[in-house]
Copies of this chain bind each other. A is one copy, B any other.
Amino acid sequence: MNDRATALEACDLGWSIAMIGRGYAAVVDPVFADVPRGARGYQLLHTVIHKSIRSQTALADYLGVDRTVMPYFVDDLQAAGLVERQDDPADRRRRIVAATRHGRARYAELSERVLEAERVFFGDLPDGERSAFVATLATMAHRSRELAAQRR
């Protein structure tokens, strides 16, 4: 079947977005088989390592989940030794979520396997098209986070 022909025919954007979510999960979930909370657990680990988002409420906001689910996430990652809760001296209500040394090492392994899985995900999509897609996707993701936040 011709890809471009189907691209023109498939005007249901919602279906397309749902499908890439499923397809991405299909290639990447095996990588997260042993990661607590799977893909979301990995995203949390990625976030505390790469972003300056540390409190549980801020992490919930960034990951797009309710703040009441964060304790469960952090509990499970902490039990696996991937992150730890640190007291914030500036505000004793706050817990700073930080990756442990083991968490960073595990993240390094996982992120390489994620890259491999993403190559499978994109398949033979031309490099230029892939990089353009990923760039727009990132722009739209940040925009989407704002759109979703407005709903509350």
Interface size for A (C-beta < 8 A) is 61
Interface string of A1-13 (1 = CB under 8 A from B): 1011011111011
Task: Please give, as numbers and ranges, the residues of chain B lying within 8 Å of A12 by CB-CB distance.
Answer: 43, 46-47, 50
Copy tally for this chain in the complex stands at 2
Chain A residues touching B, majority SS: helix
Decide if B148 touches A13 in the complex (CB within 8 Å). no
A63 CB to nearest chain B CB (Å): 8
Task: Please give, as numbers and ranges, the residues of chain B lying within 8 Å of A136 by CB-CB distance.
Answer: 7, 125, 129-130, 132-133
A residues adjacent to B (C-beta < 8 A): 1, 3-4, 6-10, 12-28, 39, 42-43, 46-47, 50, 63-64, 114, 118, 120-123, 125, 129-130, 132-148, 150-151
